[in-house]
Copies of this chain bind each other. A is one copy, B any other.
Amino acid sequence: MPDDFEAMWSELAPLGRSAASGGYFRQPFTSVESELRSWFREQCAARELPVEADGNGNLLAWWGAGSDAVLVGSHLDSVLDGGAYDGPLGVVSSLAAIDLLRSRGVAPRRPVAVGAFAEEEGSRFGLACLGSRLASGTTTPESARELRDRDGVPLLDAMAAAGVEPSLGRADWLDRIGCFLELHVEQGRDLVDRERVVGLATEIWPHGRYRFDFTGDANHAGTTRMEDRHDPMLSFAMTALAAGKQARVSGQRATFGRVDVAPNGTNAIPSRVTAWLDARGETDESLVRLVAEIKRQGTERSGRDGTRLEVTSESVSGAVSFDPVLTAGVRSRLADRWGDVPVIPTMAGHDAGILAAAGVPTAMMFVRNPTGVSHSPEEFAEMADCLAGVEALADAIEGLVS
């Protein structure tokens, strides 16, 4: 008898948890993430679900074989100091849903696959949804081979060190998938405000990551007159404030959450400040306008400071609409037990967005998050809501495989 949801959740709880913050550090191809992968393989073995590794770091467990499969699942990795739910909730709920379907005596007419995608957060190699991008051909193996982590370790070396045999590129499992339904903790308060436990997604906002390199002239912090400086920290500071203000007035999102300073010494004016902008817009056009305006203000300030600003797009994902037919079908199937399930947009990127853009009919299901907080140790969902999510996911799968 495989573990039930609560037992699985308890097993995962200590893996990669920081005692200091209570947050999780589950970066891909680290020893912690290897433990998570082993745990996934063991759970699948206990359920007699054969596991397929695709050479991009993704794992798929199969209930039944053949084509036109219903893919469920999510990812196991976290952001730096992230929460327990973003990713793992979808994987654990999928395994528990299979248990539930089996206990209901469901004999699926289509195969069901549970996916655990690699580096969804991009927290180590900087490119979010790396596993699903490679498997779907959205990112080429050539460009992925250039990726390095903050310590300069190349992707392929990191994979090999974690015992993952790399064979990057479009995965043939893609041809055996009929649709993808990703369950995820909600990253907002829509459901709690509506007093609903589960919801479905309409679309993903366009979003991107942009590297801002501000370069100036290192010099002594004491002896250099203020008017003689070319201090890139000041250019960055103004740009960060401009980003916050532009996003606020336009109802969009802009964040500088990562900064790297050189030489980063207290008594030296920096020679370089590199900061990464995470930006999200309601439409592709509004995202372009937002980033262009932030860049314009940063460049103007750099001109005044005598510093230089170079902006590089590291990844940009266009707007994604989930499959209306699949979503309507799931919604109608859920109506009996769950009533009129809300359909809401998401500003976060997901593997579901990558596969949807690659042509897989895709839908997303959300489980209520009482605070709306995610990417933080504070991320949370009530156990009762998680269990309800398992049931809703099982209902949805049953509708698709019956």
Q: What residues of chain A have their CB less than 8 Å away from a CB belonging to chain B?
A: 21, 23, 79-82, 121-123, 126, 128, 187-188, 205, 207, 209, 217-228, 231, 233-234, 236-238, 240-241, 244, 247-248, 253-259, 261-271, 276, 278, 280, 346-349, 372-378
| Min CB gap A98→B, angstroms | 29
Known interface pairs A236-B237, A276-B266, A375-B218; A348-B257 also in contact (CB < 8 Å): no
Does B244 contact A241, Cβ atoms closer than 8 Å? no
Within 8 Å by CB of A280, from B218, B222, B278, B348, lies B222
Q: What are 21 sample pairs from A and B whose C-beta atoms fall under 8 A apart?
A: A23-B263, A80-B263, A80-B268, A121-B265, A220-B375, A223-B346, A223-B372, A223-B374, A225-B253, A226-B244, A226-B253, A233-B255, A233-B259, A237-B240, A255-B269, A257-B264, A257-B265, A257-B269, A257-B270, A265-B375, A266-B276
Number of copies: 2
Of A223, A227, A276, A348, the most chain B CB neighbours within 10 A belong to: A223
In the complex, what residues of B have CB within 8 A of residue A276's CB?
266
Does A81 contact B265, Cβ atoms closer than 8 Å? yes
In the complex, what residues of B have CB within 8 A of residue A217's CB?
373, 376, 378
Measured in the bound complex, the distance between the Cα atoms of B222 and A347 in whole Å is 5
Measured in the bound complex, the distance between the Cα atoms of B219 and A348 in whole Å is 12
Within 8 Å by CB of A207, from B222, B225, B231, B234, lies B222
Within 8 Å by CB of A258, from B123, B264, B346, B347, lies B264
Does B218 contact A255, Cβ atoms closer than 8 Å? no
In the complex, what residues of B have CB within 8 A of residue A256's CB?
233
Known interface pairs A221-B257, A233-B257; A266-B240 also in contact (CB < 8 Å): no
| Min CB gap A225→B, angstroms | 8
